[in-house]
Amino acid sequence: MPEVIIPTQQGGMPAYVARPSGEGPWPGVIVIHDIFGMTTDQKQHADWLADQGYLAIAPNLFYWAGKIKCVRSVFSQLTAREGRSF
């Protein structure tokens, strides 16, 4: 399934969409990546969920900066208990 762009205040966030076969409506699932960001595994999980009958979307939450910068930013915001990630 193709990648889509989700408009956000920080620009377009790429996301992978896996759609089940047949006619909808389907239940939906958001597939969140781990600390390594968007990987083939995340897309494979979305595909597996689609095979099970779920519409799955896997957004790249690190789209706005490199992985290291994003991870540092997330941990800083969580420690401060404020910010976009918190």
Tracing tokens 């915001």 back to the chain, one arrives at 77
Continuous segment of H or E residues that includes residue 61: none
The residue extents of the domains of the chain are 3-80
From 71, 78, 85, select the one nearest 10 (Cα to Cα).
85
Contact 77, 47 (CB under 8 A): no
Q: What is residue 46's predicted lDDT score, i.e. its pLDDT?
A: 95
Q: Per residue of the chain (86 residues), give pLDDT as tens.
A: 588 998 988 889 899 999 999 998 999 999 988 777 788 889 999 999 999 999 999 998 887 676 676 667 777 777 888 877 65
- Whether omega before 27 lies within 30 degrees of 0, making that bond cis, reads no
Q: What is residue 74's predicted lDDT score, i.e. its pLDDT?
A: 72
Q: What is residue 67's predicted lDDT score, i.e. its pLDDT?
A: 64
Q: What is residue 61's predicted lDDT score, i.e. its pLDDT?
A: 84
